[in-house]
């Protein structure tokens, strides 16, 4: 058997300032946390980009050096 509960709905137009302060603090903490994660991942991605660019540069120089050695050692007989 269920008991009847009294439900009262308050039609109050005033806003509790403490509630608004808590909501604003919660939003601010979420933004600070998001900003920290964005900065951390930006640093990591920047280092990865620099690493891949350096490896690409080394690969291009290695390939160019090998190609020039092949063409210098290649003699054409007439």
32-50 pLDDT per residue, tens: 999 999 998 999 999 999 9
Q: How many CB atoms sit inside 10 A of residue 50's CB?
A: 10
Measuring CA to CA, which residue among 46, 49, 69 is closest to residue 57?
49
Interval 15-33 mean pLDDT: 89
Instruction: At 50, list the tokens.
Output: 């620099």
Which 3 state secondary structure label does DSSP give 19? helix
Interval 10-38 mean pLDDT: 86
User: What count of residues does the chain have?
Assistant: 78
């Amino acid at each position: 058997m269920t008991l009847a509960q009294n439900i009262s709905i308050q039609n109050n137009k005033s806003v509790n300032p403490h509630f608004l302060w808590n909501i604003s603090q919660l939003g601010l903490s979420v933004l600070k946390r998001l900003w920290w994660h964005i900065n951390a991942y930006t640093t990591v991605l920047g280092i990865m980009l620099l690493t891949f660019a350096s490896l690409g540069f080394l690969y291009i120089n290695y390939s160019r050096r090998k190609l020039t050695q092949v063409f210098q050692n290649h003699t054409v007989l007439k």
